[in-house]
């Protein structure tokens, strides 16, 4: 199998990061469109913010030397910056 060029690797990583950002934004937009009671239910049942998941993906990507995982983590974190003060804190 031929090795990927640097540009192919970067393009793949950028696509992963963009996709993760867009999914994160879609989740946030869906949450914001919900009524107050639905938001309260989401807040009670949330296991983690997608920004927290992004931090974990970023760390795993660095350890695994995976540009795709790194950019996915960055995309998730970038789409959840408004809640970064709540990351890694108890939900309740």
Number of structural domains found in the chain: 1
The domain containing residue 61 runs over which residues?
Answer: 49-79
- Average pLDDT taken over every residue of the chain: 89
5 phi-psi bin (left φ>0, alpha ψ -120 to 50, beta other) = beta
* Sign of the alpha-carbon dihedral angle for 48, 54, 55, 60: positive
Rounded Cα distance between 36 and 11, Å, is 40
Confidence grade of residue 44 (pLDDT, cut at 50, 70, 90) = confident
Flag whether 1 is in a domain: no
Flag whether 20 is in a domain: no
Flag whether 87 is in a domain: no
pLDDT the model gives residue 74: 94
pLDDT per position as a tens digit, 54-91: 999 999 999 999 999 999 999 999 999 888 998 888 76
pTM of the model: 0.78
Residue 50 burial (CB count, 10 A): 21
Flag whether 67 is in a domain: yes
């Amino acid at each position: 199998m031929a090795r990927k060029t640097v540009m192919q690797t970067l393009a793949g990583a950028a696509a992963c990061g963009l996709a993760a950002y867009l999914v994160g934004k879609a989740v946030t937009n869906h949450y914001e469109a919900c009524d107050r009671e639905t938001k309260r239910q989401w807040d009670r049942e949330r296991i983690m913010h997608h920004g927290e998941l992004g931090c974990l993906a970023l760390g795993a990507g660095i350890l695994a030397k995976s540009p795709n995982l790194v950019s996915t983590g960055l995309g998730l974190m970038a789409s959840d910056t408004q809640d970064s003060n709540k990351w890694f804190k108890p939900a309740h």
